[in-house]
Structure 1
Amino acid sequence: MSEKLDRRKKYTRMVLRDSLIELLSDKPITAVTVKEICELADINRSTFYTHYSDQYDLLKKIEDEIIEDMNEYLSNYSFTKEDEALLMTQKLVEYIKDKKLMFETLLNEKGDSTFEKRVMEVAHRFVMKNTMATSNIDEHLSGYLSTYIISGAIHLIKEWISKGMKESPKEIAELINHFSNRGLSYLQG
């Protein structure tokens, strides 16, 4: 009996999550109501409130789930050298491609900027920590450099998503890696 309830609970949360993501593709979270989410999910409001306090709570739970999933996914890989950092970046981009609709919605201009910051923290933890550990850059400056590189990479990924993800994750990872390591000199040769 409890297995049936667990499946029903998972289904309800999935439908509510998918409904919110669909609504967020058209408008910001501030314009989304619980009533709209419930109508789209075909679930009554009391059921919604059994799981979430409001639309912001639902969004936070979705973001928490993605960040936790990203951490678990990237923890499966251990890369310590520069060429291995490229593979880590590729794994991160592959993850984003696998969850295209979710990232497309949560990283768009209507999305919550805190999610982008949280993605940047994950990227920093997995991609930049190894690069910075092997560099000779002053610790104070390394924070600025990593922020510059990661924010540029996130915006490059947002651009890639908005243009339909035509390049492979490997190609995007190589671009990020080249821009990060060689900057504008990449364009000159």
Structure 2
Amino acid sequence: MTQQQKKRKELLAQSLFELLKHEAIEKITVDQICHVAEVHRSTFYRYFRDKYDLMHFAFEKLMLARIEGEHFVDAMIEMILKNKEVFRNISINNNNNTLYWIMVDMLSQQLLDAQKEGRLHELEWIGNDIKLSIAPLLAAKMYAGAFLTIIFEWINSNYQMDPQELSLFIKNLHK
């Protein structure tokens, strides 16, 4: 892939994030994304099957790739706080559970990678459970789903719990 193609994909991802600040994902159209990115629809479909495919790319490349395994929980909370409107529009303002499963898949892959690389220091108990499981991917998906449920509840409560308190709660779930 050329540098220009990479830039176009990232531009489409950034355009989606810009729209997610104001609308739920299910209300955003490919035409809107293309308009904000100033590209033709054919350019969009050259790289992505649909807006959910773009969203998967956007979160994987522009957000989740920046999360450090050693500070996984705090990095996730910080990312959500910096992008409150986006996360509100992909969590509680979204009726499409396909999005939830995309997020579970992405987050579980992050957990698996962090476990394999020994980067789950603050969540060592999750790393051990994944490592010792007869089905590591399923174990990672279970923890990803639990984590997302907690995060979505936090968003739904309009971030009432202090971020540090939330972080400690998640890190100490096993106790």
Q: TM-score, normalised by structure 2?
A: 0.61
In 1, are the aligned partners of 2:77 and 2:167 still within 8 Å (CA)? yes
In 1, are the aligned partners of 2:68 and 2:75 still within 8 Å (CA)? yes
Residue number in structure 2 paired with 1:110: 95
Q: CA deviation at 1:72?
A: 3.4
List aligned pairs for 1:84-95, cutoff 5 A: 88-95=72-79
Q: Deviation string for 1:53-77 (max 9, x for gaps)?
A: 45434323313324xx4343315x4
**152, 163, 167: which one aligns with 1:158:** 152
List aligned pairs for 1:90-169, cutoff 5 A: 90-108=74-92, 109-110=94-95, 112=99, 113-123=101-111, 125=114, 126-127=119-120, 130-132=124-126, 139-140=133-134, 147-169=141-163
Q: CA deviation at 1:43?
A: 3.1
In 2, are the aligned partners of 1:13 and 1:51 still within 8 Å (CA)? no
Residue number in structure 1 paired with 2:58: 62
Q: CA deviation at 1:173?
A: 1.3
User: Helix, strand or coil for the counterpart of 2:68?
Assistant: helix
Instruction: State the AA in 1 paired with 2:104.
Output: E
Q: Distance in 2 between matches of 1:12 and 1:140?
A: 41
Matched, 1:21 2:20: yes
Q: CA deviation at 1:51?
A: 6.8
Matched, 1:33 2:17: no
Q: CA deviation at 1:160?
A: 0.4
Question: Structure 2, unaligned stretches of length 5 or more?
Answer: none
Residue correspondences, number: 160
Q: Distance in 1 between matches of 2:66 and 2:147?
A: 21
Q: Deviation string for 1:88-135 (max 9, x for gaps)?
A: 423332233223233333334435121232123324535487325667
Q: Between Structure 1 and Structure 2, whose CA radius of gyration is higher?
A: 1
- Aligned-pair RMSD on alpha carbons? 4.2
Question: Structure 1, unaligned stretches of length 5 or more?
Answer: 78-86, 183-189
Q: Distance in 1 between matches of 2:169 and 2:72?
A: 13
Change (3 A) 1:116 1:104: farther
159-168 vs 146-155, greater mean Cα deviation: 146-155
Identity over the aligned pairs, expressed in percent? Answer: 13
Q: TM-score, normalised by structure 1?
A: 0.58
